Amino acid sequence: MLAALVHDRLVDRFVAAYVAQHDRRGILGGPARERELAETMGREILLAMIVEVREVLPAFFGKKKKSKLRSEEKEAIDAFFAELLAALARAQNWNGEDRKQFRRDLALYSDFNAWREKSANARKKGKAPEEEAPFIPRVALLLDPSMLEQARSAARKCFGDVERLAKILLRKTLG
């Protein structure tokens, strides 16, 4: 995930495409702003990827949902996920506070996914509006707060790309 983020320059390509599409060169503001965007958006991309990985892991056991897994399969997923987070913390040289903040944000993303799953039936019946993943408003606000609707649209597309990439990377890892 980090290799895709850093070496494939996901954030740089996303921001460059947005800037070109909407003629918003002014949002870059120099190297310091570009570094801030790369770090902060990169963190949001990692959060989205990790949540997506956790969502699709049961499929590697032939199940759609974690609740349908046997206890040893659940333990394997939990162990994989714990190691993934530990490896990420080591690779990023996070201290205790960094890990705590990342887990807090990860819980926000995970809680949203759990809520979305529970409210799917209500949406099918037209009783609840489709809510957006936390990634979308957070990235839109970072990207271009003065053109929020355009930034939300770009973040929505990016989110879909991030989810697809997470699935591809997981297949390559566990395939």
Domain tally, the chain: 1
Q: How confident is the model at residue 4 (pLDDT cuts 50, 70, 90)?
A: confident
Q: What single string gives the DSSP state of each residue in 25-79?
A: GGGT-SHHHHHHHHHHHHHHHHHHHHHHHHHHGGGGGT-SSGGGS-HHHHHHHHH
With CA atoms as reference, report the closest residue to 140 among 150, 128, 152. Answer: 152
The residue segments making up the domain with residue 165 are: 2-174
The 10s digit of each residue's pLDDT in 109-133 is 888 766 666 666 555 666 555 678 8
Q: Which residue has the higher pLDDT, 129 or 78?
A: 78
